Chains A and B, each alone.
Chain A
Amino acid sequence: MDAIQSLFAGFETALTPLNLLWALVGVTLGTLVGVLPGIGPALTVALLLPVTAKLPPVSAFIMFAGIYYGGMFGGSTTSILLNTPGESSSIITALEGNKMARRGRAAAALATAAIGSFVAGTIGTALLTFAAPAIADVAVQIPPSAKFALIMLAFVTISATFGGSPLRGLISLFLGLAIGLIGTDLQSGQARFTLGYPELLDGIDFVTVVIGLFAVGETLFVASRLRKDKASVIKLDGNARMNREDWRRSWKPWLRGTALGFPFGAIPAGGAEIPTFLSYTLEKKLSKHPEEFGKGAIEGVAGPEAANNASAAGVLVPLLTLGLPTSATAAILLAAFQQYGLQPGPLLFVTSPDLVWGLIASLYIGNVMLLALNLPLAPIWAKLLLIPRPFLYAGILVFSTVGVYSLNNSVFDLFLLAIFGLIGYGMRRFDFPVTPAIIGVILGPVSESQFRTAMQQSGGDMSVFVRQPLSAFILLIVLAALVVPQVLKSRAARQGAAS
């Protein structure tokens, strides 16, 4: 019952006219930027950080909540109408939703995605409301050694276990870790890897890294191999809407997608990709019209889209209770917390309850606003896809410049941005995933400080990681997550070669 009381207090915070306005600004900006091709939710949050720079923390996080869900909603519009997913978790939506749109069912595809996202987001947020405080209560007792082990688990699962190439994922992770090391070591006061530049003493702001690797890197890469023919955007006339038959076929996939998405988001399992694929397979198996799959089956949009949004809610559980991000977007939210001098984790529920519960309450509010925005305004969002690419990418670069320059009012940061843009180009050209690098930059320093605290407490005795049961258990999983997929892969290859 405590959770309900706290939630009511959160609604009191979030429902003030000014905070409602910020929530509305957040969902609108989030959807707007999320719809733009080439900008996924992670970049959306990073680009919009300067917008929140002058706000008090509670209002800022209410706005982030809106941006976070809004970016997800916007992404599905792009995949359905343009067949180009902004992120891997929208691949399925692009696959099935675009086929639907091509058959003249764009309105229904958008509606089932929007309503499904609303249902999944609301159920997911409700689960978060009750799970988070309970987990936070337990998490207070987790020792630093186990927290370090948890971060290792996030590192390994995100970079190696679920990626295409574990080697490339790990190289990306280590690049991020190296960038995270630059600057003054807070415990000893020693400068590390600053090459004599005083600008580097404070470290490199993650915003520069994120915008460089994502936005600038992508702009350079797309420019180098531009599609000459125009992308075909499907025309949408009228609101997003569904008929009775669509509702009948959608509601079960929504609930099943939610059930798959939330737990997968909450464990460090590489984000929303896996549950969306699982949901698609499940719906195909359960459907009475399996022959429609691949040609535009509404279940194939409803289920994965719900799974995607439920996992976005699930991701917030480890983020808020353990300070452990399990997706690139969550990592950026974590860094945004740190910018306000807040450390997400179990103590946050005790030290800043108004902020945490205001944030959770505004997730509910944001969901309602998004539904209201997306159904009638879908044709307007669709218009955004018609912006000619030269003007669109030029605009993205200008906003990137504002975002990075306004951090320190320093041109030096813009040169760093160019360097990270080049690295981002190279990573796309040579197939290195970007997310592990982002996780490395943001979580690297956290992992170092947890490791040091653990060593300080144990008096320099490394065996604490083996003797502390929880740490040992998690590290065992880390090892398994690193080794098992490789063994399975090589066994499958051997069997493939033998047969």
Chain B
Amino acid sequence: MSDPVTTPIPAARRGLSVPDLLVALGVLIIGALLLIGTLKIPFGINAYVGPRVFPMIVSVGTLALGALLLVATLRGYRAEPAAEEDSDPDAQPDLRQPGIILGGFLLGSLILVPLGFVVGTAVMYFSVGFAFGERRAPLLAGVALIVALVTYVAFTRGLGLSLPAGILKGVL
């Protein structure tokens, strides 16, 4: 590490990053799980290349790449978060907001069939709007219902898709 010739990345001097280490281990674990899954695939018959060959290549490749990433991380390499539109690269990441979105999305998915598409997607809409900082709840709920309703009508009537009606069955 002390030899500057072998450390071309300046990031290498910033020490070990635990999240990056977890990612590298995660890639290795995925590779290992893929390998286990590959070994469960039965051999094909009457073929030069059976159903196992490609999964084997992919799982061994993933393991090898994970190992390389682990080595790079142990040498101090760390990833910089992507710079996206509307995001502030210097902001302190707040995991509660994506948590709200994910929770709202899963709840909306669960009630999508029993209560219907309109209610389900309105819940999703509301949770995203809330997570993005909109605090005028009645306004947000109203817009959520209108967007969900318009989407439902446009896709079922206009494009002939079938979406669950749920509690609005017979009304729409």
Q: Are B102 and A394 in contact (CB under 8 A)?
A: no
Q: Which of A135-143, A213-221, A367-375 touches B? A: A213-221
**Distance between Cα atoms of A221 and B161 in the complex (Å):** 31
Leading 3 A-B pairs by shortest Cβ distance = A493-B8, A460-B48, A188-B44
Q: Which of A173-181, A266-274, A289-297, A472-480 touches B? A: A173-181
**Distance between Cα atoms of A222 and B83 in the complex (Å):** 9
Interface residue? B81 (CB, 8 A) = yes
Q: Which of A49-57, A201-209, A320-328 touches B? A: A49-57
Within 8 A of A (CB), among B17-51: 19-20, 23, 27, 30, 34, 37, 41-42, 44-45, 47-51
Q: Are B113 and A226 in contact (CB under 8 A)?
A: no
Using a CB–CB cutoff of 8 Å, the interface residues on chain B facing chain A are: 4-5, 8, 19-20, 23, 27, 30, 34, 37, 41-42, 44-45, 47-51, 54-55, 58-59, 61-62, 65-66, 68-69, 72, 79-82, 84-89, 91-95, 97-98, 100-102, 105-106, 108-110, 112-113, 117, 120-121, 124-126, 128-134, 140, 143-144, 147-148, 151, 155, 159-164
Interface residue? A429 (CB, 8 A) = yes
Interface residue? A171 (CB, 8 A) = yes
Q: List 7 A-B contacts (CB under 8 A).
A: A38-B84, A78-B85, A190-B42, A223-B98, A395-B125, A398-B147, A429-B81
| A391-B143, A418-B106, A489-B8 as given contacts; A192 in contact with B98, CB under 8 Å | no
**Distance between Cα atoms of A72 and B4 in the complex (Å):** 44
Interface residue? A69 (CB, 8 A) = no
Closest to A492 in B: B8
Q: Are A394 and B55 in contact (CB under 8 A)?
A: no
Q: Are A192 and B8 in contact (CB under 8 A)?
A: no
Contacts of B66 in A (CB 8 A): 171
Interface residue? A236 (CB, 8 A) = no
**Distance between Cα atoms of A430 and B24 in the complex (Å):** 10
**Distance between Cα atoms of A399 and B128 in the complex (Å):** 13
**Distance between Cα atoms of A188 and B46 in the complex (Å):** 9
Closest to B132 in A: A390
- Interface of A, secondary structure class, is helix
Contacts of B65 in A (CB 8 A): 167, 170-171, 174
Query: What is the CB-to-nearest-CB distance from B43 to chain A, in angstroms, rounded to a whole number?
Result: 9
Q: Are A389 and B86 in contact (CB under 8 A)?
A: yes
Interface residue? A406 (CB, 8 A) = yes
Q: Are A451 and B101 in contact (CB under 8 A)?
A: no
Contacts of B58 in A (CB 8 A): 174, 177-178, 181, 444
Contacts of B98 in A (CB 8 A): 220-221, 223-224, 425
**Distance between Cα atoms of A221 and B83 in the complex (Å):** 10
Contacts of B134 in A (CB 8 A): 388, 390-391
| A84-B85, A224-B93, A227-B87 as given contacts; A167 in contact with B126, CB under 8 Å | no
